Amino acid sequence: MAVQVSNNYPKQATDCGPILNQYLDILIIGAGPAGISSSLYLAEKGYSPALIDEAEFPRDKVCGDAISGEGLRVLKSFGLMDAVEQSGRKYNKKELNLGLDNFITMENKAIGLPRKVFDNILLTRAINSGVRFSVKRFTGRIYSKTIHNGMETPAKEKNSTKAGRSSTGKKADGFGNNDYTVEVLCPKTLQKSFITARYIIIATGCQSDTVFSRMDTEKFAKPDQAACRGYYRAAWPVSERKYFFLQELNPGYSWIFPLGNDVFNVGCGGKILKVRKLNLKQCLDEFIQATNKRYTCGGEWLQPPQSAFLRTNFSNLKALKKYPNIILAGESMGSTYPFSGGGIGKALTSGIIAAQAIDAIILRKSPHKTLSEIYTETINKKMKPSYYTAFTLWNHLLTQTPLEKFIYKRVFKSHRSPDVIANILSKKTTPDYLFSLKNILKYLFFK
């Protein structure tokens, strides 16, 4: 049975008409948080972007469904807070369980809303703001020449068309040799068609990376984390988000996020490591059994657990170097933070930065820079934490088995430092605090 949190979907966002054999200023591929935020931002700036997704909406996305800090700020800027709050569940706190009787509660606002509803609210808002949406699957085939009815047309012929002007009259700098033509399929009929655009944002997440094997990528990074979640009904006395840092998942955790009416988004996930094979479904089963035992009650899956990947660490920021006018946003770029996550908010933010970079190029704000140069610089400046190197080091050290055990034992279970872990998770403390000489000595010689 599919989880039914609400049947009141806003206006159904399905196929809004074909975008076939057309010239576009801006094409965005993938209607997750990253793709929708970039298209919405551009539509509000007066452009007429086209957005395609292989799925008909509303569609599910395997996720913990918790939209926190950064995500909420972006929703506010789009005037979407009311819609999201009305459909979702408000959280004020999160509880970090670092051992059986060792937990910390932190003030932390967030909203729990199944992605099926959340993404549909975003998409409906984008369509209402003028984004042209169409259900199409990008195949990964991309040409630097125009394709007309399956025949290549030399790029220079495109200059004689009226292409490049959006419905609002903003001109995308004249179409020419930098255009790309992408091959797309109608997912139902598999009918092939082509879309030519000057600027392209690819925001296809990280569940269908096969498209990138057809592109000329540079050091394309695979997903580095895996997680699994389902919707479970039980009379657990849990009203705020709970995270459990279990040793078998480290670096990773399991979670319980209440959605109301005794329905919980329950899941677990961790870093993909060569040294271990995580059976996430088994971990989740054991976690559910332990939780039922803890609260002396039973429950049932409303929607059984499904697994999905995550990509963190901005690992693909430069992967499309060879395509100066195409950029990756969201998890296809690796926008999620290692360790502390926040994927929805990070995807929304990277989408906006991608859109701002296109706006800057079209308005010639930085005449000597390419689109990908402007984008990369801004992501480095605005998204990477100031303690990024320490963060990466921390993440790396946790993947070395002996050190991982050591850190788990001495830090995660230490009664002296639960607040440190909480503060690192909420990015208040820099992870290099743990590696100060004082702390290393403390963890080595004191219990």
- CA angle 136-342-299, nearest 5°? 90
Residue 137 engages ligand FAD in binding (rule: CB under 6 A): yes
CA distance 188 to 265: 31
53 vs 240, beta carbon nearer ligand FAD: 53
133 vs 175, beta carbon nearer ligand FAD: 133
306 vs 439, beta carbon nearer ligand FAD: 306
User: Tokens representing 132?
Assistant: 């042209």
Supply the minimum distance, in Å, between the C-beta of residue 241 and ligand FAD. 9
Judge whether 81 and 60 are in contact, CB under 8 Å.
Answer: no
Three-state DSSP string of 167-204:
CCCCECCCCCCCCEEEEEECCCCCCEEEEEEEEEEECC
Residue 132 engages ligand FAD in binding (rule: CB under 6 A): no
CA distance 198 to 12: 29
Supply the minimum distance, in Å, between the C-beta of residue 217 and ligand FAD. 14
Select from 91, 138, 194, 443 the one that contacts ligand FAD (CB under 6 A). Answer: 138
Q: Which residues pair with 194 in a beta bridge?
A: 183
Residue 88 engages ligand FAD in binding (rule: CB under 6 A): no
Residue 19 engages ligand FAD in binding (rule: CB under 6 A): no
Select from 30, 114, 130, 258 the one that contacts ligand FAD (CB under 6 A). Answer: 30
**Tokens 């499904």 identify what position?**
306
Find the helix packing angle between 343-362 and 371-382, rounded to 10°: 140
H and E: helices and strands count for the chain: 12, 17
Residue 431 engages ligand FAD in binding (rule: CB under 6 A): no
Q: Is 117 helix (H, G, I), strand (E, B) or coil?
A: helix
User: Tokens representing 198?
Assistant: 């000057």
**Tokens 């054999």 identify what position?**
21
Residues 274-313, mask of contacts with ligand FAD (x by CB under 6 A): ----------------------------------x-x---
Residues 178-207, mask of contacts with ligand FAD (x by CB under 6 A): -------------------------xxx-x
Q: Which residues pair with 289 in a beta bridge?
A: none
335 vs 414, beta carbon nearer ligand FAD: 335
User: Tokens representing 272?
Assistant: 């993909």
Select from 64, 252, 334, 431 the one that contacts ligand FAD (CB under 6 A). Answer: 64
Q: How many residues bind ligand FAD (CB under 6 A)?
A: 41
Residue 66 engages ligand FAD in binding (rule: CB under 6 A): yes
Span between the terminal Cα atoms of the chain, in Å: 48
Residues recorded for the chain:
447
Supply the minimum distance, in Å, between the C-beta of residue 68 and ligand FAD. 6
155 vs 182, beta carbon nearer ligand FAD: 182
Count of alpha carbons within 13 angstroms of residue 253, beta-carbon side: 21
65 vs 404, beta carbon nearer ligand FAD: 65
Supply the minimum distance, in Å, between the C-beta of residue 353 and ligand FAD. 13
Select from 230, 251, 343, 418 the one that contacts ligand FAD (CB under 6 A). Answer: 343
Residue 122 engages ligand FAD in binding (rule: CB under 6 A): no
Supply the minimum distance, in Å, between the C-beta of residue 264 and ligand FAD. 12
Supply the minimum distance, in Å, between the C-beta of residue 309 and ligand FAD. 6
φ and ψ at 84, to 5 degrees? -75, -40
Residues 389-428, mask of contacts with ligand FAD (x by CB under 6 A): ----------------------------------------
CA distance 221 to 331: 11
Select from 330, 334, 338, 418 the one that contacts ligand FAD (CB under 6 A). Answer: 330
DSSP 268-279: EEEE--TT----
Nearest to 354, CA basis, from 371, 367, 368 = 371
Radius of gyration of the chain (CA): 23
Select from 13, 24, 26, 31 the one that contacts ligand FAD (CB under 6 A). Answer: 31
226 vs 390, beta carbon nearer ligand FAD: 226
Torsion, Cα of 214, 352, 37, 359 (10° steps): -80
Residue 336 engages ligand FAD in binding (rule: CB under 6 A): yes
**What is the DSSP secondary structure assignment for residue 217, as one 8-state letter?**
-
Supply the minimum distance, in Å, between the C-beta of residue 416 and ligand FAD. 29
Instruction: Specify the DSSP element, H or E, that contains 430.
Output: none
Residue 33 engages ligand FAD in binding (rule: CB under 6 A): yes
Supply the minimum distance, in Å, between the C-beta of residue 154 and ligand FAD. 27
Between residue 220 and residue 279, which ones bind ligand FAD under the rule CB under 6 A?
227-229, 267, 269
Greatest CA separation for the chain: 75
Binding site for ligand FAD (CB under 6 A): 29-35, 52-55, 61-66, 137-138, 203-205, 207-208, 211, 227-229, 267, 269, 308, 310, 330-331, 336, 341-345, 347
